[in-house]
Copies of this chain bind each other. A is one copy, B any other.
Amino acid sequence: MQTIAVIAPGAMGSAVARRLAENGVRVLTSLTRRSAATRARAEDAGMTHAEDAEIVAADLILSIVPPADAAALVARLAPSLASVVKKPVYVDLNAVSPTTVHGIAATIAPSGAPFLDGAILGLPPKPGAKGPRIYVAGEDLAPLLALRECGLDMRACEGGVGAASGLKMAYAGINKGLRALAAIVVLGAERAGAGAALRAELAESEPELLARFAAGFPDMMPKAHRWVAEMHEIADFLAPDRAGGQVFAGAAEIFARLAASEGEADVVALLAFAEAAGGSSRTR
């Protein structure tokens, strides 16, 4: 029986763990100092608590944590990884830049544990539905691609360590950058008294984009706070490009405003635009 450690049991981590557990994998996680709610979610997903010494004895370790925690997790596990004889494959699946991933790889390297760069694109797997695409990049991808047998949509990403993270940054940059752009422009149109005209024009000439905004605005409001850091990470990813730094600094700025109390009127305006757009696209 294969043993896989999934850290941590967040929304994505616990959903991936559940899929693995349902397919006969023994899934470990780390619940030290976690809340009762997190412990309950982990247990419900079929995950078992383990100390770090047991976690590094797993066949695979999947790191699925908030971007800011990715490097700290590796720093914590590196001594245990160095002391164990049979090394697990360590996979970083987080929304971090290739630069951050190379730093993580460098922290792990002395332990001798194989390292893979990974990226999860799409929403957490749900019962009965196809899960997100999970890309991996690096030298020996076979142990990860084998998880296709366990209900995960594993993909090989060419280009070596850094390419999967680059793919994640680029994909999130398009998806979330477009929402930032749309929010900024719609708010500008509303200030100029042209909000309704813009909505009518988009309904006629760009119905796909309008439908995207109508669904995207309500979805992004509760996530805007979290996306601020992700926009900064994408700006770092694009760093040699001054234009990229500017655009994603602006994206971070609008998400920060929408997440703060000063942005309340903007949130109301965008949700009203989305509701009217949803209405107009339904009646088309």
A residues near B (Cβ < 8 Å) are 98, 121-122, 133, 135, 157-160, 162-167, 169-171, 173-175, 177-178, 180-182, 184-189, 191-194, 196-198, 201-202, 204-206, 208-209, 237-238, 240-251, 253-254, 257
From A186, which residue of chain B is reached at the shortest CB distance? B170
8 further contact pairs, Cβ within 8 A, besides A165-B192, A246-B253: A122-B205, A170-B192, A170-B198, A171-B201, A171-B202, A244-B250, A245-B250, A246-B247
B188, A241: Cβ atoms closer than 8 Å:
yes
Q: Chain B residues near A198: list those with CB within 8 A.
A: 167, 170-171
- From residue A194, how far is it (CB to closest CB) to chain B in Å? 4
Q: Evaluate contact between A237 and B162: CB separation under 8 angstroms.
A: no
* Contact sample, A vs B, 21 pairs, CB 8 Å cutoff: A98-B192, A121-B201, A133-B201, A133-B204, A167-B189, A170-B186, A171-B202, A173-B184, A173-B185, A174-B202, A180-B247, A181-B181, A184-B243, A184-B244, A184-B247, A188-B238, A188-B241, A192-B237, A243-B250, A244-B250, A244-B254
B196 and A162 form a contact (CB under 8 A): no
Does A201 contact B253, Cβ atoms closer than 8 Å?
A: no
Distance in Å from the Cβ of A171 to the closest Cβ of chain B?
Answer: 6
| Residue of A121, A166, A208 contacting most chain B CB atoms (<10 Å) | A166
CB-CB under 8 A from A248, the residues of chain B are 250
Bound-state Cα–Cα, A64 to B191, Å: 25
- Contact A197 B159, beta carbon cutoff 8 Å: yes
Residues of B within 8 A of A187 (CB): 241, 244
> CB-CB < 8 A to A247: which residues of B?
180-181, 184, 246-247, 250-251, 254
Whether B157 lies near A194 (C-beta < 8 A) is: yes
A202 CA to B250 CA, complexed, in Å? 24
Residue contact B158 to A196, C-beta cutoff 8 Å: yes
How long is the Cα–Cα vector from A246 to B184 in the complex, in angstroms? 11
Contact among B182, B205, B237, B246 for A246, CB-based, below 8 A = B246
Q: A158: which B residues are within 8 A, CB to CB?
A: 193, 196-197
Listed from nearest, the 7 A-B pairs whose CB atoms lie closest are: A166-B192, A159-B193, A246-B250, A247-B250, A170-B189, A166-B194, A243-B253
